[in-house]
Structure 1
Amino acid sequence: MLLRTLLIALILTLSTGCATVKNWFGSSKNKAIEPAELVEIANPIDVDAAWSRNLGDGQEKLGLRQRPAIEGERIFVANDEGRVLALDVNSGDTIWDSEAVKTGKEGSRVFFWRREKIDAGLSGSPGVGNGMVVIGGRNGEVIAFDADGGAERWRTKVTSEVTATPLVTDGLVIVRSGDGRTFGLDAGDGSRKWVFDRGLPGLGIRGNGSPVAGDGLVYLGYDDGSVIALRLADGQRAWEQLVAEPEGRNDLERMSDVDGEIQLGLGTLYASSYKGQTMAIDTNSGRPLWNRDAGGYGGIALLADRLLLADGAGTVWALDRNSGTAIWKQDVLARRQLTTPAIHGEYAVFGDVEGYVHWIRTADGTVAGRSRIERAPILGTPQVAANGMLVVLTNEGKLSAFPQPN
């Protein structure tokens, strides 16, 4: 547990400012881990923000990939003060505000050599569906709100911190806790219908990927490099497939987490591993269809003929959906710790560790536009509304919206 905690602390440190690490050691060699310098874009597209607003305290100390949720013309967001808000996607104006959500008693965590007190605030991103908004807390509480007015519908508790976005589907709320368990909760009252328990490796990246559902199954990526399909009805395992083998001499080398967004196509599931592997899996049998040596801790965006992702080095890849063959790659954003991409018209959009948002043409990989929200990391996946508005949240709680470029 101590080793796992030390690694998490190191990842958080690196993700919030590589320049600080450089100054500790004063060596020019550390430039090799700094984000690549940004180059001037020829004929950049117009990507001015339509609006921005500060939501209060963010999650910068926790290193979580918080993201907003969008349904129709409403954005649902949460912050570390325990507030859940519904905003208008066109203006950013508040529709409702839950104010302070009380989530139980304080707790503590070990941080290097000291034990640090933490309050029991919200830790995950909101999930939305069936007229409700559901979010988890650091003490394992799960709270459901009415999506129209913000009234609390129910709350329950699972066995550990909830950092993954809950999935609301088919009368169930699927919730992942940080101890390897996945819960199927009744969407009406939050009562437990089933639980799937899986052990965790000695080390892993902080956080879990969100569940994805389709055809009566729910799909989950795990820290040991595997993807598991569970039956929605009872939580029983339908199949399991290893995306990346956790090989190495120690826990650090064996890290192979599947933590980014997995994508579901027609009969095919696409998943990427921290170990640098991306796989297409047949959803009926769990059999691999192809495997590609390109992947990272982020997730995948899906188009009709290709999928897009960034690998651990910051290279952006477009892979053919049917074969995994590389269509193009772009490496000018090296070491910028890119998010899972969002598809914004004809562009793939990535956030980075220095607070920049990048628009890359999906057709050929050229960088077309750039905007900086603030000097804070963007870790959560940008989200796109039905009207084309792109919404991006930094780790310090600044939310910005960008209309679709012409």
Structure 2
Amino acid sequence: MSFRIVLLALILVFATGCSTIKGWFGDSKGKALEPAELTDIASPIAVDRAWSLNLGDGREKLGLRQKVAVEGERLYVSNDDGQVLAINAGTGDVIWDSQAVKTGKTGNRLLFWRRKTIEAGLSGGPGVGNGLVVVGGRNGEVIAFDAETGAERWKAASTSEVIATPLVAGGLVVVRSNDGRTFGFDAADGTRKWVFDRGLPNLSVRGNGTPVAGGELVYLGYDDGSVIALRLADGLLAWEQLVAEPDGRNDLERMADVDGELQLGLSELYATSFRGQTVAISTTNGEPMWNRDIGGYGGLALLADRVVLADPAGTVWALDRNTGSALWKQEALARRWLTSPAVQGNYIVVGDIEGYLHWIRADDGVIVGRDRIENSAILGTPQVSASGTLFAITAEGKLAAYPQPQ
């Protein structure tokens, strides 16, 4: 695994008019970007891996934040070979694959015929709901499968690569494409119901956050540093709010992406920006309730009394939900390019660029557990099932399951 290649994929996307960046990794200064060395944990908790499964290679250099979708006792996951799999969450056994052709096992590695569901490869992780599993591809294609059987239900097309996980809600499938457009497709047959179009800056972090539904609205973060609320029924703009001002002398300085997971409370929405701002926004009118000069390229995790995020330096922060004041910070994971946090019981879990998962106590920020899935970056947010099991995927396609530590 090349740390330098993945780091570039995380920082930059393919920008018009962007000059070559020289000297980032070719001299002694590059060593300052290497991940902080991990130290022994004084009193570690027992972190047990229940099972793992190799899903296929080919994602690492794409910088995709792949993650599983969890529904009940099943996981749904896609790979860059154009396949969608349904997996038993308890055992790791494959229930169905979207090819419906031939499946075999050799040890712990799956073998499939190479007829692809989407020839250009799948980019965003699957979205699940209303009996559907929906995926998007690098060619803009959108495919819906029957969640029970894996049979293809319909196909539709967006106008660009689909990086974000589709949202299934309110009888619609909401798909964010990489050119700034968001589509509302009928969940029954894939008919396009509406499209919302918004321009993009020249340079942005690679990745789009998953749309979030709340009541009659759907919320999205954008590369210009804003959060918008669309009416789910027709895609019309209800309100927008700036999280971070994209100012600066050049495109790199103006990067203010809101790309990670948004979190929805009872009447407030939480968002964080690559530019270093985190905001609580009223869902009623889009007005900010508080803002804090701490932010990240990833998303947020939401607990009863706090929100948790990782900033670009690798510091993990817990902020009070009501005021935004810092409750604690954990700085031992510097420069490890952490994922958005996940909540597993009393622990916060983040993945890093070297394939490690780190368990952090939610009440005080102390690191208490660690496990390495493999020597490959974890880019997508770990997901936790209703039973408390955590699932994470590396950039080379290894999926691992961890029961909740006791």
Length-normalised TM-score, structure 2 = 0.91
- What is the DSSP-based 3-state SS (H/G/I as helix, E as strand, rest coil) of the residue aligned with 1:135? strand
Query: How many angstroms apart in 2 are the aligned matches of 1:103 and 1:382?
Result: 25
Structure-1 residue corresponding to 2:165: 165
Q: CA deviation at 1:103?
A: 2.6
Query: How many angstroms apart in 2 are the aligned matches of 1:24 and 1:255?
Result: 21
Distance 1:292 1:375, change over 3 A: same
CA shift digits 1:117-155 (9 cap, x unpaired):
xxx111110000001100000111000000001000000
Query: How many angstroms apart in 2 are the aligned matches of 1:259 and 1:53?
Result: 28
Q: Contact 2:98 / 2:117 at 8 angstroms: preserved in 1?
A: no
Query: How many angstroms apart in 2 are the aligned matches of 1:213 and 1:26?
Result: 46
How do 1:273-352 residues align onto structure 2 when only pairs under 5 Å count?
273-352=273-352
Query: How many angstroms apart in 2 are the aligned matches of 1:78 and 1:179?
Result: 22
CA shift digits 1:264-292 (9 cap, x unpaired):
00110000000010000000110000000
Q: Quick one: percent identity of the two aligned structures?
A: 69
Q: Contact 1:22 / 1:31 at 8 angstroms: preserved in 2?
A: no
The residue type equivalent to 2:89 in the other structure is V
Structure-2 residue corresponding to 1:231: 231
Q: Contact 2:138 / 2:162 at 8 angstroms: preserved in 1?
A: yes
- What is the DSSP-based 3-state SS (H/G/I as helix, E as strand, rest coil) of the residue aligned with 1:42? coil
Q: Contact 2:10 / 2:205 at 8 angstroms: preserved in 1?
A: no
Q: Contact 1:78 / 1:84 at 8 angstroms: preserved in 2?
A: yes
- What is the DSSP-based 3-state SS (H/G/I as helix, E as strand, rest coil) of the residue aligned with 2:175? strand
- What is the DSSP-based 3-state SS (H/G/I as helix, E as strand, rest coil) of the residue aligned with 1:61? helix
- What is the DSSP-based 3-state SS (H/G/I as helix, E as strand, rest coil) of the residue aligned with 2:160? coil
Q: Say if 2:9 is the partner of 1:12.
A: yes
Structure-2 residue corresponding to 1:190: 190
Q: Where does structure 1 lack aligned partners over 5 or more consecutive residues?
A: 1-7, 16-20, 105-119
The residue type equivalent to 1:25 in the other structure is G
Query: How many angstroms apart in 1 are the aligned matches of 2:229 and 2:138?
Result: 26
CA shift digits 1:353-397 (9 cap, x unpaired):
000000000000000000000000000000001111100000000
The residue type equivalent to 2:118 in the other structure is T
Structure-1 residue corresponding to 2:118: 103
Q: CA deviation at 1:14?
A: 7.0
Q: CA deviation at 1:76?
A: 0.4
Distance 1:54 1:248, change over 3 A: same
Length-normalised TM-score, structure 1 = 0.91
CA shift digits 1:225-269 (9 cap, x unpaired):
000000001100000000000010000000000000000001100
How do 1:206-245 residues align onto structure 2 when only pairs under 5 Å count?
206-245=206-245
Query: How many angstroms apart in 2 are the aligned matches of 1:264 and 1:216?
Result: 13
How do 1:143-162 residues align onto structure 2 when only pairs under 5 Å count?
143-162=143-162
Q: CA deviation at 1:32?
A: 1.8
Distance 1:235 1:339, change over 3 A: same
Structure-2 residue corresponding to 1:138: 138
The residue type equivalent to 2:9 in the other structure is L
Distance 1:58 1:403, change over 3 A: farther
Q: Contact 1:391 / 1:400 at 8 angstroms: preserved in 2?
A: yes
Q: Contact 2:48 / 2:405 at 8 angstroms: preserved in 1?
A: no
Query: How many angstroms apart in 2 are the aligned matches of 1:365 and 1:226?
Result: 29
Q: Contact 2:270 / 2:280 at 8 angstroms: preserved in 1?
A: yes
Q: CA RMSD in A?
A: 1.7
Structure-2 residue corresponding to 1:72: 72
Query: How many angstroms apart in 2 are the aligned matches of 1:57 and 1:150?
Result: 22
Q: CA deviation at 1:102?
A: 3.5
CA shift digits 1:201-228 (9 cap, x unpaired):
1111112111001020000000000000
Query: How many angstroms apart in 2 are the aligned matches of 1:101 and 1:394?
Result: 21
> How many equivalent residue pairs?
378
- What is the DSSP-based 3-state SS (H/G/I as helix, E as strand, rest coil) of the residue aligned with 2:85? strand
Q: CA deviation at 1:329?
A: 0.5
